[in-house]
A and B are shown apart, each in its own frame.
Chain A
Amino acid sequence: MTTAHAQPEAIRGVVFTRSVRLLSALAVIGGVLIVWRFLVGLGRATALTDGYPWGLWIAFDVVTGTALGCGGYAVALLVFVLNRGRYHPVLRPALVTSAFGYSIAAFSVMIDVGRPWLAWKIPVFFWHWNLRSVLLEVALCIMAYALVLWIELAPAFLERAQTSSVSVIRRLAEAWLPVLRKALPWVAALGLLLPTMHQSGLGTLLLLSGPRLHPLWNTIMLPLLFLTSCIAMGFGMVVIESALSARVLGRRPEIAMLAGLGGAMRPVVLVYLSIRIVDLIVRDQINDLFALDWFSVMSLIEFGLLFGALALLREERQRRDLGNLFRASMLLLLGGALYRFDVFLLAFQPGANWAYFPNVAEILITVGLVAAEIVGYVILINLFPILAGRPRSAVAR
């Protein structure tokens, strides 16, 4: 079965399709608006207020974006900690999505903060580090992890460089590849440690807003809930990405492997749901879950999405159906994303005088960043050996 998977290879030829051109246009619009945001300031560019100082950019780009970027983390857990080596071929594409997700998140933060030109002080001024600050932990871990992801991907770039026609590049690649391979296990271990720390940390963040957080979400379990759900979302993202690239690039999807990921999602979602439900019971909030007010309805939708995903993943037969697996993963991502939006925007209640809904500029900047991410991904898999599996033409033969 080992030989069933081809070595990763670059996918030539599908760059500037119509949808990629459309995405590029959206990315350019986002880019222009980002420049505008720095010219007019946050007050005019966004709908943010002193009541809702964090909005769409934090809730989606950073908190949800990094969770969607947990594919690399989730698959690495599966491959290395659970020793399921057969999932290794999906690791590299998963790492690419993760690297993009995290880089975009880090970039978004620079748009969101008011004084980004001082951001370099966070990693550098260690003598000022406030070791009680969860945000410091999250910031340092996200910065470090974005770097770790690109280092983990570096072999892909160097493998390509080895075949370069420029002799200097070729020699550099040949000199550095062995060094990198020696260092990689240590870097890859960081690649498991850092997400464990900061994904739970993202949940811990709002624990400090405790007095103003709606009781349905205000629990000491926030870190564990964020951690478990991000792993499930990571698997979901890998399935969706594999299914999409299979369709768009005309490659045969690795059904057995994706079905396996579908199987891996179930226990993780179950753990998440158990913690969430037991927590609501223990904290005596379970009645409020069915109060059918705005908060209860949103929570129930969260639960509905996740139970829906579980229902679609129940049997092996279902998990081997790519369309079904895709829908389940989509429900899972929506459920996880909604949970994050609920915690950061809905559960957070600064008082009756405040309201927040993202304005057009905020939305277009977020859309632009996501578009840029997808375009970047397409370009990268075209240029470098990322995707394993086989082109459909080879299969059809």
Chain B
Amino acid sequence: MGISRRDALKVMVGAGGATLAAAATPGQANAAAVVARPDAVAMLYDATRCIGCKACMVACSKANHLEPDPGWSQGLYQAPADLNGKTKNIIKLYQEPGGAYSFVKRQCMHCLDPACTSACMLGALKKGDRGVVSYNPDLCIGCRYCTMVCPFNVPRFEWDSLAPKIVKCEFCKERLAEGKLPGCCEVCPTGAVIFGKYTDLLAEAHWRLDAHPGRYVPKVYGESEVGGTQVLYLAHVDFAKLGLPAYGPDPVPTAVREVFQEIYQGLVPPIALYALLAAVMMRSRRLVTGEGPEQEAEEP
């Protein structure tokens, strides 16, 4: 037999070698920065303008037909502690002992290169029109891998349901299709959260930073973090304190892409490996089929 087990071994070692090579040159696959699609929309949340009225939370629940979550308020009003299976949008308060405080709006960030859409087996989570990360329950088996991989811990699960779905902000995609604004942006009384074209809002954010030096932490959060997000933040308090971690510019799927996609490129390596293994198997066919261990005679 022309192809020996040694060749099969070489391929296996080769696969390992590819992993090693990928490790030796981190970030190379990511040479091209993520660019927002031309029709991308965005939200800009300016924490200095937010008064914490939570009108956006109620509007969100209405627009998305979500049950109110009374939290610990004993049914008196809507008071979820965090994003959850009934809450796609939440206003939180950060307060320092000294008195400095800031509100922060949390919701899906609609990453330019999301971890969740890279994780999702059948594409139930998908980056679609306008760059919105949308959800299709018909293709979701409820594995919650999206929740495992989201760097912002956004996709939530309907833990109490017998037919649970993933719950997360989809920029009110139905309302967008009707030409309306997302629920939260429509009702915000101070313009703390506004909706528009991604490029426009990024420019607006930078304009505000330039126009009001000293008012803000000099940075647009979401411009570069994990490759960029379609929800942008301005704040006067360190972003990390608001629950927005200091992430680098590499999209979350970068490392996986290096390992996984390089190795499985076009499925050629696994198919080649299979052919070699099949050849190895044919070599010791009698052993494989359990017809008797005649192969032994050839052993050194």
Contacts and interface: CB of A to CB of B under 8 A. Distances in A.
Interface of A: 1-2, 5, 8, 38, 41-44, 48-51, 53-54, 79-86, 88, 92, 109, 112-116, 118-119, 121-122, 125, 128-130, 132-137, 139, 155, 180-181, 184-186, 188-190, 192-193, 196-197, 201, 204-212, 219-221, 223-224, 227, 279, 282, 348, 350-351, 353
Contacts of A279: 23
Contacts of A86: 293, 296, 299
Main secondary structure of the interface of B (DSSP, over half): helix
Contacts of A8: 290
A327 B282 CA distance: 37
Given A185-B281, A185-B288, A50 B157 contact: yes
Given A43-B160, A185-B289, A210 B252 contact: yes
B160 A54 contact: no
29 contacts: A2-B296, A41-B160, A42-B159, A42-B164, A50-B153, A54-B148, A80-B277, A85-B295, A113-B141, A114-B164, A115-B142, A115-B164, A119-B141, A132-B257, A133-B121, A139-B121, A181-B290, A185-B278, A185-B281, A189-B278, A193-B270, A197-B270, A204-B260, A207-B255, A208-B115, A208-B148, A211-B245, A220-B19, A220-B258
B200 to A, nearest CB: 29
Main secondary structure of the interface of A (DSSP, over half): helix
Nearest to A220: B23
Contact of A208 (B15, B253, B273, B284): B253
Q: Which 5 pairs from chain A and chain B are nearest by CB? A: A114-B142, A43-B159, A53-B144, A185-B281, A114-B164
A206 B255 CA distance: 10
Given A115-B165, A137-B264, 17 more contacts: A83-B284, A118-B142, A121-B122, A121-B139, A130-B120, A132-B118, A132-B256, A184-B289, A186-B278, A188-B288, A193-B273, A204-B260, A208-B255, A209-B115, A212-B153, A227-B16, A282-B23
Interface stretch (B4-12, B95-103, B213-221): B4-12
- Chain B CB within 10 A, most for which of A136, A208, A227: A208
A201 B145 CA distance: 14
A88 B287 contact: yes
A80 B147 contact: no
B247 A211 contact: yes
B274 A193 contact: yes
B19 to A, nearest CB: 5
B209 interface: no
Interface string B106-135: 000000000101111111000000000000
